[in-house]
Amino acid sequence: MPRIKELLVNGQALAVDVDDERTLLTVLRDDLDLTGSKYGCGEGECGACTVLIDGVAARSCQRKVRSLAGKKITTIEGLSPHGTLNALQQAFLDAGALQCGYCTAGMIVAAQSLLNKNPRPTESEIVRALDGNLCRCGTYTRILTAVTEAARRLGGAK
Ligand code: FES
Ligand code: FES
């Protein structure tokens, strides 16, 4: 069984020499040096490891690399490929929507997934979309402000 996998990460086709059973999260962090996605629970419960797969939020701790051929993977780093914060990242910064920051990448990526399919989310739609992402510092109110503001700046807020 060949071990080389081709992964499409942040717009780049990357060949990685990894075991089939490895999770996307460990490959991103340990092999590709993309450490923005965090290991929280490792069980699909906290959302710290959230990435986009074909534009939709997914728990990278739960995805084996063998299932990702031909899929477009976007990490938090891929949201600002030229080093300029995107609207969500900037809005999180402006709203002070983080304390320790451990949940932040997952929150932003989950919010990006929402805005990809619904550029004009209501407050309750934002809450629902981020419901599975946990913040132990309790910055939920500011996170809600940040996502609402990002949508508004992008021309979509209701
Ligand atoms: S680390 Fe993946 S959901 Fe918690
Ligand atoms: S800012 Fe610390 S876990 Fe969310």
pLDDT in tens, 116-134: 999 999 999 999 999 999 9
Ligand 2 residue neighbourhood (C-beta within 6 Å): 98-104, 135-137, 139
- The pLDDT, as a whole number, for residue 82 is 87
pTM of the model: 0.95
Task: Answer yes or no: do 23 and 50 share one domain.
Answer: yes
Which of the listed residues 60, 79, 98 is the one where a domain comes to its end?
79
Q: Decide whether any atom of ligand 1 lies within 6 Å of the 106 Cβ.
A: no
Task: Answer yes or no: do 12 and 56 share one domain.
Answer: yes
Pick from 17, 80, 22, 123: nearest CA to 114: 123
Q: Which domain holds residue 40?
A: 4-79
Task: Answer yes or no: do 68 and 108 share one domain.
Answer: no
- The pLDDT, as a whole number, for residue 97 is 98
Task: Answer yes or no: do 112 and 136 share one domain.
Answer: yes
Q: How many domains does the chain have?
A: 2
- Looking at all shown ligands, the one closest to residue 42's CA atom is 1
Q: Decide whether any atom of ligand 1 lies within 6 Å of the 49 Cβ.
A: yes
Q: Could you identify the atom of ligand 1 that is nearest to the CA of residue 40? A: 1
Task: Answer yes or no: do 28 and 63 share one domain.
Answer: yes
Which of the listed residues 39, 56, 79 is the one where a domain comes to its end?
79
